[in-house]
Amino acid sequence: MEEIKIIPMTGKHIKEIAELEKVCFSQPWSENSLLEELDNHTAQFLTAVDEDGKVAGYIGSFVVCESCYISNIAVFPQYRRKGIGRALISALFSLAKEKGAESVSLEVRPSNDTAISLYNVMGFEEVGLRKNFYRNPTEDALIMTYSFDK
């Protein structure tokens, strides 16, 4: 695997992350939405970059009280299946614990078997369902949570 570093998201990553959003999601975040998170004290966004500084993937989350919520995790197709998603989640776990979180939660489409498999390997458990959460296409969301007190 080429050298990948997990670092905090900065303004120089925004354009590439916005492109990644378009590649991965039917309702992508805009550059402006991503930029706003740089000033949000509850936001914890990490970027996976290769040895040339190019964005390979990212994870966005919010830590409020004792909970961390993952809003998005995405990896460019050419970087997939190289452990980057796992590395991003592991780095976020460390950061969330440091910020006082007791658990990490996310939503995922039930049809996204690859993501669900990754989350299961990382120790997340299915804890609920949100009806009609996603659009384009409409789909429920599985709620998955990882607790640090395991």
Choose, from 58, 79, 119, 146, the residue flagged as catalytic: 119
Query: What span, in angstroms and rounded, lies between the C-alpha atoms of 78 and 84?
Result: 11
Active site includes 146?
no
Choose, from 107, 125, 126, 134, the residue flagged as catalytic: 107
Instruction: Give the tens place of pLDDT for each residue, 18-62.
Output: 999 999 998 899 999 999 999 999 999 999 999 999 999 999 999
Class of 5-147 in CATH: alpha beta
Active site includes 79?
no
- Closest by CA position to 45, among listed 21, 77, 23: 21
Domain range annotation of the chain: 5-147
Position 146: which residue type?
Answer: Y
Instruction: Give the tens place of pLDDT for each residue, 89-147.
Output: 999 999 999 999 999 999 999 999 999 999 999 999 999 999 988 888 889 999 999 99
